[in-house]
């Protein structure tokens, strides 16, 4: 179905004064006057910018009610948004979207509560997503907001915002949780759900909901009249009456995710970073009225941890011996608990034994719920099931798994996978490589050390542990399960390391403990337990990608097994057309073709004259001035670039080039293939620390060839002065 409808008119009014006088003008607005479904945006002009977002078919009545609300009456102006295309379902959906994006955009403190935010499916919903995009673009033009939708979507505050719209599955569970806490007085609630079912979203939603200032909605005329919303409000009031100034904490065992959620809570009204706590923090202050435990499967026991002494002291505070766990601490230090749990995400022997959770589940007093809908992965629940069956060798078919909305590929070359991931990174952002703990973390102590070598390409592990996926160097590093668990990526590129292999004769997956370098992950466990942990690790890494997952296996037999079930990435030689400068003008697929062999001593923008040839690529290039094509001669890079290939390069603008394939120019280079001045090689820098900071000691340009006669080109001292990196290799055309 075509979702582009240029004839759709979106009418955003000029600002009306939010006052009794302004109300008289609003009564003449055609959408309000005719009681048409519309959306409104009320904001303040002061130093502290606040806003309130709503929708109604009875705008004049609703706005009159808002003016009677003391807090909202302090706002200054109101915009009305109308369209002939609006209906009640559409305005509810667009209102929810505005609340979600505005809460994460950062220009305003949102006055809205998060109650009643639900996702509804309705006729032609895709069209209304396009309408919402147009509304947001107009708000940017009017300088009401600053950030693009894509920028917001990649932010952590958006991904973990308590203003998320809940799907039917989540909303039903929410009402049961609220009913359990109030009417049924269930002091222990257990919510199971596999990766991507929205456990963390529901946990943060609950935190915001239970801390809502219900007094802002002075009367129920201001609320949506749907039964669900009013039920939420009444449950919240009942809970707040039972627990005046309730002490509530969100328990996160994992350091990185806890730090991320603390940052999110700092930016949400009525929440603060102190509400996000570790299991050890539950000992501080009086007993909690409610602890919400996200990722409960990562709670730890007294086993294979680096802080045994502190753990033992916490157990002793409660009169427990070494069998005490963080689960016991939570049960003892709170009156009510909500656990979000998935047994398939246990990845270390330090995780609390599943049997302890089964004991809780077997208790009749425990309220048991389950989330089923897939919220993260566009491949849906079918993809989650596929990955589980794939890695447990339980697939009953050898048909390759394909879903139109999800990009799943297995690669024969790590270089192809890296290049494809870089393309997706430029398009979507938040695309990361992740691997099993298959190599030592040498760069933890020596920041210049390279940790991982695959097919002659060197990489480093994640250089920070907390919030790694958002760090500026993450795109060139490889993360592990501990830096990605609980996070969403747009694309995940999963590397199955040498510790996991496929035995073709026995038709089984095997693991090699000697190749597994997480000492706390393998200490004191038998081979079956270790295999289960490693399988869970790779499953959960394959669940990270929202839009797609790329896969590479170091073990050739495992790669062949995966290729039976996953579509294989095939490098397809592109066809291209040579264009004149006139033909290339306004052609979004045209990039400059540069003849390196004809370039006499320099290579600059001055060469790109009207006599310059251009090449038309198969796909659009967003900024063609950043790219060029040249022909690569010789066999020195034949593992990735065949002799005579036409290659696309991205102009070098600085930043790290470590491990990348580059086109360089230097008067000190004598390359057997290109002759004097130019070469295409892998870039490696050796740095040294001086009193003024770091500097290059030498640059090594490394071949990547089947022919061992090719040698490294090493440039140092004065030779570095003449070195110029012209471009970064993107792909063979």
End-to-end CA distance of the chain: 33
Dig out the tokens for 576 from the structure.
């291209």
Q: How distant is the alpha carbon of residue 679 from its chain centre?
A: 37
Query: Percent of the chain scored above 70 by pLDDT?
Result: 88
pLDDT at 329: 97
Ramachandran quadrant class, 665 (left: phi over 0; alpha: psi -120 to 50; beta: rest): beta
- Cα 212 from Cα 210, distance rounded (Å): 6
Q: If you search the block for the tokens 């303040």, which residue do you land on?
A: 44
Q: Are 511 and 499 in contact (CB under 8 A)?
A: yes
Residues of the chain with CATH 2.10.109.10: 593-732
| pLDDT of 89 over the 90 cut | no
Task: Spell out the residues 6+ positions from residue 465 whose beta carbon is closer than 8 angstroms to its own.
Answer: 255, 256, 482, 483
pLDDT at 7: 64
Q: Are 405 and 378 in contact (CB under 8 A)?
A: yes
| pLDDT of 115 over the 70 cut | no
Dig out the tokens for 660 from the structure.
């990348």
Higher pLDDT, 337 or 687: 337
Which H or E run contains 50?
strand 50-56
CATH hierarchy code of domain 593-732: 2.10.109.10
Q: Among the listed ranges 113-122, 277-286, 582-591, 698-707, which one has the minimum average pLDDT value?
A: 113-122
Which H or E run contains 506?
none
CATH hierarchy code of domain 380-565: 3.40.50
pLDDT tens-digit readout, 169-223: 888 999 999 999 998 877 899 999 988 888 999 999 999 989 987 754 444 444 5
pLDDT tens-digit readout, 562-613: 999 999 998 655 556 777 667 777 787 788 888 665 332 333 333 333 345 7
pLDDT at 670: 54
Q: What mean pLDDT do residues 158-168 have?
A: 85
Q: At what angle do helices 227-242 and 199-210 cross, to 10 degrees?
A: 60
Dihedrals φ, ψ of 628, to 5°? -155, 165
Higher pLDDT, 100 or 595: 100
- Cα 462 from Cα 437, distance rounded (Å): 12
Dig out the tokens for 659 from the structure.
């491990």
pLDDT at 3: 42
Task: Spell out the residues 6+ positions from residue 93 whose beta carbon is closer than 8 angstroms to its own.
Answer: 119, 120, 122, 125, 128, 132
- Per DSSP, the three-state class of 431 is strand
Q: What mean pLDDT do residues 110-132 have?
A: 72
| pLDDT of 39 over the 80 cut | yes
| pLDDT of 225 over the 50 cut | no
The secondary structure of residue 574, as a DSSP letter, is: P
- Cα 86 from Cα 350, distance rounded (Å): 54
List % helix, strand, coil for the chain (3-state, nearest 5): 35, 25, 40
pLDDT tens-digit readout, 464-517: 988 899 898 898 899 999 889 888 999 999 999 999 999 999 999 999 999 999
Dihedrals φ, ψ of 507, to 5°? 55, 55
pLDDT tens-digit readout, 521-530: 888 889 899 9
| pLDDT of 694 over the 90 cut | no
Q: Are 552 and 414 in contact (CB under 8 A)?
A: yes
Closest CA relative to residue 209, chosen from 158, 275, 286, 153: 275
The secondary structure of residue 20, as a DSSP letter, is: H
| pLDDT of 719 over the 80 cut | no
pLDDT at 177: 94
Query: Percent of the chain scored above 90 by pLDDT?
Result: 47
Dig out the tokens for 589 from the structure.
């697929």
Q: What mean pLDDT do residues 22-34 have?
A: 94
Q: Quick one: 230 exposed, middle or buried, by C-beta within 10 A (0-12, 13-18, 19+)?
A: middle
Question: What is the pLDDT of the chain when averaged over all its residues?
Answer: 85
Higher pLDDT, 206 or 115: 206
pLDDT tens-digit readout, 432-450: 999 999 999 999 889 889 9
Q: Are 210 and 292 in contact (CB under 8 A)?
A: no
- Per DSSP, the three-state class of 683 is strand
pLDDT at 116: 56
Dig out the tokens for 131 from the structure.
């309408």
pLDDT band at 17 (very low <50, low <70, confident <90, very high): very high
Dihedrals φ, ψ of 120, to 5°? -115, 135
Dihedrals φ, ψ of 131, to 5°? -65, -45
pLDDT at 1: 35
| pLDDT of 456 over the 60 cut | yes
CATH of 178-371, one of 3.20.20.70, 3.40.50.300, 3.30.70.1380, 3.30.70.1230: 3.40.50.300
- Going by their DSSP bridges, the two strands 613-616 and 577-579 should be labelled as antiparallel
Q: If you search the block for the tokens 């490889």, which residue do you land on?
A: 478
pLDDT at 576: 66
Q: Are 633 and 641 in contact (CB under 8 A)?
A: no
Q: What mean pLDDT do residues 58-86 have?
A: 92
pLDDT at 234: 86
Higher pLDDT, 419 or 120: 419
pLDDT at 699: 87
- Cα 536 from Cα 539, distance rounded (Å): 5
> For the chain, how long is the longest CA-to-CA vector?
86
Dig out the tokens for 23 from the structure.
């109300």
Q: What mean pLDDT do residues 377-393 have?
A: 94
Q: What mean pLDDT do residues 336-360 have?
A: 91
Residues of the chain with CATH 3.40.50.300: 178-371
pLDDT tens-digit readout, 281-325: 999 999 999 999 999 999 999 998 888 999 999 999 999 999 999
| pLDDT of 381 over the 50 cut | yes
Task: Spell out the residues 6+ positions from residue 520 whose beta carbon is closer than 8 angstroms to its own.
Answer: 304, 305, 306, 348, 349, 350
Higher pLDDT, 561 or 372: 561
- Cα 178 from Cα 509, distance rounded (Å): 44
Dig out the tokens for 315 from the structure.
């157990």
């Amino acid at each position: 179905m075509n979702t582009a409808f240029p004839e759709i008119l979106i009418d955003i009014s000029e600002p009306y004064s939010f006052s009794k006088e302004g109300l008289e003008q609003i009564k003449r607005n055609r959408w309000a006057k005719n009681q048409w479904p519309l959306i409104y945006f009320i904001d303040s002009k002061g130093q502290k910018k606040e806003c309130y977002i709503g929708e109604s078919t009875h705008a004049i009545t609703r706005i009159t009610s808002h003016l009677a609300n003391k807090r909202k009456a302090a706002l200054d102006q109101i915009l009305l948004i109308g369209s002939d295309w609006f209906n009640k379902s559409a305005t509810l959906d667009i209102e929810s979207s505005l609340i979600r994006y505005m809460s994460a955009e950062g220009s305003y403190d949102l006055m809205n509560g998060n109650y009643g935010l639900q996702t509804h499916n309705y006729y032609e919903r895709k069209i209304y997503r396009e309408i919402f995009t147009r509304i947001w673009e107009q708000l940017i033009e009017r300088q009401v907001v600053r950030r693009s939708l894509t920028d917001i979507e990649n932010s952590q505050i958006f991904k973990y915002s308590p203003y998320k719209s809940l799907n039917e599955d989540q909303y039903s569970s929410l009402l049961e949780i609220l009913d359990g806490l109030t009417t049924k007085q269930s002091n222990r609630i257990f919510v199971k759900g596999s990766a991507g079912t929205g456990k963390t979203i529901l946990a943060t939603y609950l935190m915001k909901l239970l801390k809502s200032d219900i007094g802002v909605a002075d009367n129920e005329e201001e609320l949506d009249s749907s039964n669900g919303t009013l039920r939420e409000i009444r449950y919240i009031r009942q809970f707040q009456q039972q627990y005046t100034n309730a002490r509530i904490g969100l328990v996160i065992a994992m350091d990185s995710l806890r730090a991320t959620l603390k940052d999110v809570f700092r930016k949400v009204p009525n929440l603060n970073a102190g509400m996000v706590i570790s299991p050890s923090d539950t000992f501080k202050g009086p007993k909690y009225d409610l602890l919400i435990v996200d990722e409960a499967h990562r709670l730890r026991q007294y086993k294979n941890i680096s802080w045994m002494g502190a753990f033992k002291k916490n157990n002793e505070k409660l009169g427990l011996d070494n069998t005490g766990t963080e689960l016991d601490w939570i049960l003892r230090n709170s009156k009510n608990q909500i656990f979000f749990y998935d047994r398939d995400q246990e990845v270390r022997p330090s995780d609390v034994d599943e049997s302890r959770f089964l004991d809780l589940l077997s208790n009749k007093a425990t309220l048991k719920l389950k989330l089923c809908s897939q919220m993260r992965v566009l491949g849906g629940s079918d993809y989650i099931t596929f990955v589980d069956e794939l890695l447990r060798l339980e697939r009953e078919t050898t048909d390759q798994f394909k879903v139109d909305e999800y990009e799943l590929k297995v690669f024969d070359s790590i270089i192809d996978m890296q290049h494809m991931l870089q393309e997706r990174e430029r398009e979507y952002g938040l695309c990361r490589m992740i691997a099993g703990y298959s190599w030592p973390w040498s760069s933890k102590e020596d920041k210049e050390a390279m940790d991982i070598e695959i097919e002659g390409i060197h990489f480093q592990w994640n250089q920070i542990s907390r919030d790694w996926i958002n760090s500026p160097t993450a795109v060139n590093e490889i993360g592990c399960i501990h830096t990605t668990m609980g996070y969403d990526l747009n694309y995940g590129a999963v590397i199955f390391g040498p510790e996991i292999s496929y035995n073709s004769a026995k038709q089984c997956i095997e693991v090699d403990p000697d190749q597994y370098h997480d000492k706390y992950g393998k200490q004191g466990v038998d081979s079956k337990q270790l295999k289960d942990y490693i399988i869970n690790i790779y499953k959960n890494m394959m669940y990270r990608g929202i839009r797609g997952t790329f896969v590479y296996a170091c073990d050739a037999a495992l790669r062949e097994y995966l290729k039976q079930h996953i579509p294989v990435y095939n490098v397809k030689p592109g066809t291209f057309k040579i264009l004149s400068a006139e033909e290339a003008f306004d052609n979004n697929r045209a990039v400059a073709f540069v003849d390196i062999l004809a370039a006499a001593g320099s290579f600059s923008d001055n060469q790109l004259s009207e006599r310059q040839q251009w090449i038309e690529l198969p796909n659009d290039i967003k900024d063609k001035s950043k790219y060029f094509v040249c022909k690569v001669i010789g066999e020195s890079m034949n593992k990735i670039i065949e002799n005579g290939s036409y290659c696309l390069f991205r102009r070098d603008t600085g930043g790290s080039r470590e491990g990348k394939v580059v086109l360089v120019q230097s008067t000190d280079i004598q390359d057997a293939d290109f002759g004097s001045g130019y070469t295409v090689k892998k870039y490696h820098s050796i740095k040294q620390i001086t009193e003024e900071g770091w500097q290059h000691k030498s640059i090594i340009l490394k071949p990547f060839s089947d022919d061992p006669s090719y040698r490294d080109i090493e440039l140092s001292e004065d030779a570095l002065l003449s070195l110029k990196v012209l471009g970064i290799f993107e792909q063979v055309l």
